[in-house]
Amino acid sequence: MLKQVQHDKGKVQHEKDKVRYKLKKQIKIMKNILIILFVITFLSGCGEEKIEEIKVNKTGGAEKEKTESDFVSLVLSKESQDRIDLKTELLSEEQFTGYIKIPAVIITDQNNEAQAGPIVAGRVKKVYADVGSYVNAGQTLMLIEGLEIGVLKADFLKSKTTLEFTEQEYNRQKSLSEQNAGSQKNLISAKTEYEKALAEFNAMDKKIHSIGIRDEDIINEKSDLHSAGDLAIKSPISGVIVERNVVIGQYMESSFIAFKILNTKSLLVDGQIYESDFNKLGNSNSAEFKTQSVPNEVFMCDITYKGLLIDDKTRTIKIRAKVNNPRNKLLPQMFGELIIKLAENKRGLFVLSSAIYKDNDQSNVFVMENDSTFRKIQIKTGVELDEKVEVISGLKENDRVVINGVFELKSELLKESFGEGE
């Protein structure tokens, strides 16, 4: 009985060892399978990368990704071309007038900018204009009062009265002399007094005019004693008040600037051209100004000054142009481009701007190689003329460029780059 029990225990132990052995064997097999799968996956990925690289290199020389290639071909059936209304254009050289673009900024025209203030000291009595007000030349901006103003007006009236009296006396003595009823001495004395009074009056007349007072202004005030010391400060030009520095009751010295007036109907454009491009400019004084602040609009300019000095830091020369601004769309300190015609006419290849599309800041077009094959080509562009763009490199004469259907071709190209076209 004891032997039977021992035999049974040994049998059980044997079975356990057998199961343990099988498990170890299965685990080892699973490890080997996993290693084999990993190696296959790795080699498969490398193979696909190699194949992808070879495929793309065949189509045009890209390094790794198809979307980076300079030349990519795709095939489009005649039915597909008709569906997207695909159109092409045969390139040929055209004669054109070259242009150069230089950075520029709008500035005020000093001939249309003015300051207004008193020439004599005084206190502000009334103010008639404010910032933003449009004023005409000669319009009263404010009224000031002061002792010096009253003295000047009184001296003017005194000199005028003296002139009138001496003139009458001189005419009377001259009339008596002609009738042999007066003495020569009295005539000479009357003439001397008259000429003295005339000189004093002319001096006072210029003096009151210098501070902005007219003769009629003083004569009309003779009956109003309370306005004898008032002086009207008037706008020297027509324009808009852009600065006001006075309030009622404020005392001002003769050098004080009370208002600034600006007329923006005409402005200046200041640009900087590199010295290497300066001699390319023609004799034409016409130019164009464009700014992102007023998109899709071109402002015609007249060049008024071509600099005579080179900036020693930037190696540029100043170009100044005058631009009309009747609708006040342009404002001082707006930045933009000044487009100037070059001296000589040139020949070059041009494509419609609709034929060009951007990819990673690179300009591209599609060229039709045959009835169904189209090739993406990277180009370098030059000047823009109306709806056309100069092609400096990438295309040659007689290339047939797609001008309509570019978006659809680009979409097909993107599908292929993501593997949808395979």
What distance in Å separates the CA atoms of residue 95 and residue 31, rounded to the nearest whole number? 75
Helices (H), 211-338: 215-220, 275-278
What pLDDT, on a 0 to 100 scale, did the predictor assign at position 212? Answer: 77
What distance in Å separates the CA atoms of residue 54 and residue 190, rounded to the nearest whole number? 117
> Do 104 and 271 meet the contact criterion of CB atoms below 8 Å apart?
yes
Neighbours of 399 (CB within 10 A): 21
Q: CATH topology of 100-108+264-345 equal to that of 116-262?
A: no
What distance in Å separates the CA atoms of residue 358 and residue 362, rounded to the nearest whole number? 5
What distance in Å separates the CA atoms of residue 368 and residue 376, rounded to the nearest whole number? 9
Tell me yes or no: is domain 66-95+347-417 CATH 3.40.50.2000.
no
What pLDDT, on a 0 to 100 scale, did the predictor assign at position 404? Answer: 92
Query: What backbone phi and psi angles, to 5 degrees, belong to 117?
Result: -175, 170
Burial 285-298 (b: 16+ CB within 10 A, else e): eebbbbbeebeeee
Among 241, 275, 278, 276, CA closest to 260: 241
Predicted TM-score (pTM) of this structure: 0.56
What distance in Å separates the CA atoms of residue 355 and residue 410, rounded to the nearest whole number? 11
> Do 290 and 337 meet the contact criterion of CB atoms below 8 Å apart?
yes
What pLDDT, on a 0 to 100 scale, did the predictor assign at position 31? Answer: 63
What pLDDT, on a 0 to 100 scale, did the predictor assign at position 322? Answer: 96
Query: What backbone phi and psi angles, to 5 degrees, belong to 275?
Result: -60, -30
Helices (H), 142-238: 147-178, 184-210, 215-220
| Spatial CB neighbours of 274, under 8 Å, sequence gap ≥ 6 | 315, 316, 317
**Which DSSP symbol is given to 66?**
G
User: Hey, what CATH class is 116-262 in?
Assistant: mainly beta
Please tell me whether residue 359 adopts helix, strand or coil conformation.
strand
> What is the domain partition of the chain in residue ranges?
66-95+347-417, 100-108+264-345, 116-262
Tell me yes or no: is domain 100-108+264-345 CATH 2.40.30.170.
yes
What pLDDT, on a 0 to 100 scale, did the predictor assign at position 211? Answer: 78
Among 133, 106, 118, 114, CA closest to 262: 114
Could you give the count of Cα atoms lying within 13 Å of 374 in the half-sphere of its Cβ? 25
The per-residue pLDDT string of the chain (422 residues; one tens digit each, 9 = 90 and over) reads 444 544 455 555 556 566 566 666 666 677 667 666 654 555 454 444 333 333 333 334 434 444 444 457 888 888 888 888 999 999 888 877 777 889 999 999 999 999 999 988 899 999 999 999 999 999 999 999 988 888 888 888 889 899 999 999 889 888 888 888 778 888 888 889 999 999 998 998 888 887 777 777 777 665 554 555 788 999 999 999 999 999 999 999 988 999 999 999 999 999 999 988 888 787 778 899 999 999 989 999 999 999 999 999 999 999 999 999 988 999 999 999 999 887 667 788 889 988 999 888 889 999 999 988 999 999 998 777 778 888 988 999 999 999 998 888 888 888 766 654 44
What pLDDT, on a 0 to 100 scale, did the predictor assign at position 242? Answer: 95
Could you tell me the CA-to-CA distances from 132 to 135, 250, 347 in Å, in that order? 9, 21, 51
What distance in Å separates the CA atoms of residue 400 and residue 119, rounded to the nearest whole number? 74
What pLDDT, on a 0 to 100 scale, did the predictor assign at position 16? Answer: 59
Neighbours of 106 (CB within 10 A): 22
What pLDDT, on a 0 to 100 scale, did the predictor assign at position 19? Answer: 56
Could you tell me the CA-to-CA distances from 56 to 52, 265, 394 in Å, in that order? 6, 59, 19
